Copies of this chain bind each other. A is one copy, B any other.
């Protein structure tokens, strides 16, 4: 099993985090992992949905989208189809759960935190990249508004999988499309699990393999976490 550009089985693709990539949103980061590029922004609005008013607690909404030309073959724009596809819905629910697990809604107060993750170029691992970037954008926005305590820990996510019998960290698109098993793991900065989603794409898998993949994922999220910590504190406005 040889990987593109001589990457080792337990090696991440090159990471790039450009915080404050836009001037207007409260928080933003252009997050890239290999050719995958996701623009994540955070917007804080005063107020919460009507049914939550007066409870002293905040609300968070995450949205995810692929630009039409982000994929190798152009994908139809969801706004012109008139609805979000099943994959989009599933991914934005995952992003929301991941970030909610480290959010203290009492500390957020009666505010809404919008996290928008727009994939500008897709080469595998976009949902994990979106979670990693959403954390950075969200954290920068909260810090700017003096709401640092609203995140109780950091969050990182990475995909792992088995390709041709070998467990690999951080699958790119060509690896992902031939994987036997595919797993997305979301972890906190202190090394606990928030979400594990393992799927047998071809053959059902064993618990031993599940263990091996979790080891790889732990290693990956630790490395990403260090880059996130740097991006959170860099270039403060």
Contact = CB atoms under 8 A, between A and B. Distances in A.
Interface residues of A, number: 64
A131 to B, nearest CB: 14
State the copy count for this chain: 6
B79 A24 contact: no
A90 interface: yes
A123 B25 CA distance: 12
Contacts of A199: 97, 194-195
A83 to B, nearest CB: 6
A15 interface: no
A210 B198 contact: no
Interface of A: 22-25, 28, 35, 37, 39, 41-43, 45, 63, 65, 67-72, 74, 77-80, 82-84, 86-90, 92-93, 97, 101, 114, 116, 118, 120-123, 153, 187-188, 190, 192-200, 203-207, 210, 214
Given A24-B123, A193-B200, 7 more contacts: A24-B121, A28-B69, A69-B114, A77-B79, A90-B90, A193-B204, A196-B198
